[in-house]
């Protein structure tokens, strides 16, 4: 399909969203080089981060499609571009954790790197002004953020399926999938699909041998070598494909 980029609809922290000429049911995403953390209190520009994340997100959406897990992804035309089905984003950040790290490790004063026996799913309310607070299942239903419990349970089930597939994929790349964040959106026909992006911006990825961080924590924690780490993730994923 030949898509042409229309007008700018919205600019987020990591992507710009454009309309697509003569196609009302799709959007054109442009991956920016900006890197932000702590609700954009910390910001930087990182050359080629956009194209690297676009490549990784494309790889992962295609991989998941092969496993029958649908997403909004349709095509990746330019080097920092992705054409996606237009969805209404459900304002939840669905976090899956295999190993404790980041906010939950801190909240319960448990050492980072403590493995969980079963993956843990958590929801955060996607609202920048509030700093994306944790939200309980009952709060999601009471505040009508999700239509009903069935939809909420479906989100959890899907997130766990994505986790199973991605954990296996990253393991082949000698990477431990510590945790990650997903977003889901609703299509005009009511179907729910995986949306936004999956990349080292939205995952914690540790080298399986050295536990070295290969994700946005390198930026959050001033560890340096951010671009090299992201490139390394992509190159390892490409190696998996050619195996
Ligand atoms: P957390 O430990 O800070 O709650 O983050 C859990 C996972 O979610 C981690 O892989 C990073 C990702 N994440 C995002 O993608 N966006 C966000 O705004 C936050 C806070 C976390
Ligand atoms: N995504 C959030 C931000 O850009 C928080 C984070 O990832 O640390 O500010």
Q: What is the pLDDT of residue 8?
A: 98
Output the pLDDT for position 131: 94
Looking at the structure of the chain, the number of domains it has is 2
| CB contact at 8 A, 32 and 16 | yes
Q: Residue 147 above 90 pLDDT?
A: no
- pLDDT at position 199: 98
pTM higher than 0.95 for the full model? yes
202 alpha carbon to ligand 2 midpoint, in Å? 9
Give residue 14 CA to ligand 2 midpoint distance, Å: 10
> What angle (nearest 5°) sits at the alpha carbon of residue 51, between those of residues 45 and 53?
85
CATH (domain of 49): 3.30.200.20
For residues 99 and 212, state if they share a domain: yes
Ligand number nearest CA of 39 is 2
- 192-226 per-position pLDDT tens digit: 999 999 999 999 999 999 999 999 999 999 999 99
Ligand 1, atom 14, residue with closest C-alpha: 202
Q: Would you say 145 and 90 are in contact if contact means Cβ atoms under 8 Å apart?
A: yes
Judged against a pLDDT cut of 90, whether residue 3 lies above it is answered with yes
Q: How far is the CA of 126 from the centre of ligand 2 (A)?
A: 11
Residue 139 lies in domain: 89-226
Give the domain-ending residue among 63, 87, 111: 87
Of all protein residues, the one whose alpha carbon is nearest to atom 9 of ligand 2 is: 39
pLDDT tens string 221-242:
999 999 999 999 999 999 998 8
Q: 46-72, pLDDT tens digit by residue?
A: 999 999 999 999 999 999 999 999 999
* Closest residue CA from atom 2 of ligand 1: 102
Q: Are residues 82 and 93 in the same domain?
A: no
**Residue 29: closest CA among 40, 16, 39, 43:** 16
**In a shared domain, residues 46 and 95:** no
């Amino acid at each position: 399909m030949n898509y042409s980029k229309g007008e700018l609809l919205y600019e987020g922290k990591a992507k710009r969203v454009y309309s697509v000429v003569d196609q009302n049911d799709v959007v054109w995403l442009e991956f920016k080089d900006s890197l932000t953390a702590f609700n954009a209190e910390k910001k930087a520009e990182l050359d080629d981060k956009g194209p690297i994340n676009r490549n990784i997100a494309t790889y992962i959406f295609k991989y998941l499609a092969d496993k029958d897990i649908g997403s909004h992804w349709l095509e990746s035309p330019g080097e920092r571009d992705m054409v996606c089905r237009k969805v209404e984003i459900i304002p939840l950040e669905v976090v899956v954790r295999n190993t404790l790290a980041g906010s939950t490790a801190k909240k319960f004063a448990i050492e980072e790197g403590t493995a969980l026996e079963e993956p843990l799913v958590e929801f955060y309310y996607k609202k920048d002004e509030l700093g994306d607070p944790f939200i309980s299942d009952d709060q999601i239903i009471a505040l009508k953020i999700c239509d009903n419990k069935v939809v909420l349970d479906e989100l959890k089930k899907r997130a766990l399926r994505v986790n199973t597939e991605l954990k296996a994929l990253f393991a082949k790349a000698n990477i431990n999938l510590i945790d990650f964040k997903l977003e889901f959106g609703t299509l005009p026909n009511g179907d729910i699909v995986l949306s936004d992006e999956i990349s080292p911006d939205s995952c914690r990825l540790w080298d399986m041998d050295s536990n070295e961080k290969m994700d946005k924590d390198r930026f959050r924690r001033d560890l340096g070598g951010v671009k090299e780490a992201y490139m390394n993730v992509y190159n390892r994923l490409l190696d998996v494909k050619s195996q």
